[in-house]
Amino acid sequence: MNESENLMPLKGSADFPFWEQDLARLFGVPPVELQKIRYANLQEGVNFIRQSNRICYSKNAARATAATLNLPLENLPWLQEPDATVTPRPAYAPPAVALLTALPNKTANPHIIMAQDEKGVAVRVRVKNKENFRGGMKVQATLISADYYELVGHCPRYPGKF
């Protein structure tokens, strides 16, 4: 059994089964070379996705990358059969930042402050330390769940001042 059969990478999702690190090892090139090819030729959401801290390639993208590197497909049997069309996924977008107004500190948890969103609904905001937050301060936070946010940036250094 040769190395390409032994290390057949099917670790990602069904549409994007190949991890970039495994493809680099199987193709015999440094991961930086695959990264350059990915930046130049591939589109996120169609040819690859970011899954946690990994880059997952579709079969068509792996085949195109092997062709770009001038690798013969007969050495890579898992790339020879044609692939069905991949349903495009949206590219990664950073979470939206909301501007909230801090309410007076009434929680027992030292890492949670209460704030109001733009609709006037009270929400919880996770912070490193709530000691210097005061009511009426404007804070930026990203949404984690329905009424739970996380602070963007640092906590105030002085009471009531960023």
Give residue 7's pLDDT band: very low, low, confident or very high (50, 70, 90): very low
Identify the domain containing residue 46 by its residue range. Answer: 3-79
User: pLDDT tens digits, residue range 35-59?
Assistant: 999 999 888 888 888 887 888 888 8
Question: Positive or negative CA dihedral for 35, 39, 43, 49?
Answer: positive
Query: Is residue 161 a part of any domain in this protein?
Result: no
User: pLDDT tens digits, residue range 74-98?
Assistant: 777 777 665 556 666 666 666 789 9
Which domain CATH number covers 40? 1.10.1660
Same domain? For 121 and 58 the reply is no
Give the model's pLDDT for residue 4.
Answer: 43
Q: How far apart are CA 55 and CA 72, in angstroms?
A: 23
**pLDDT higher than threshold 50 for residue 8:** no
Same domain? For 69 and 115 the reply is no
Same domain? For 22 and 60 the reply is yes
Mean pLDDT of 105-121: 91
Query: Is residue 157 a part of any domain in this protein?
Result: no
Q: How far apart are CA 86 and CA 64, in angstroms?
A: 14
Give the model's pLDDT for residue 6.
Answer: 43
Same domain? For 59 and 106 the reply is no
The domain boundary, picked from 79, 109, 125, lies at: 79
| 3-state SS, residue 50 | strand
Query: Is residue 36 a part of any domain in this protein?
Result: yes
Query: Is residue 31 a part of any domain in this protein?
Result: yes
Mean pLDDT of 66-70: 88
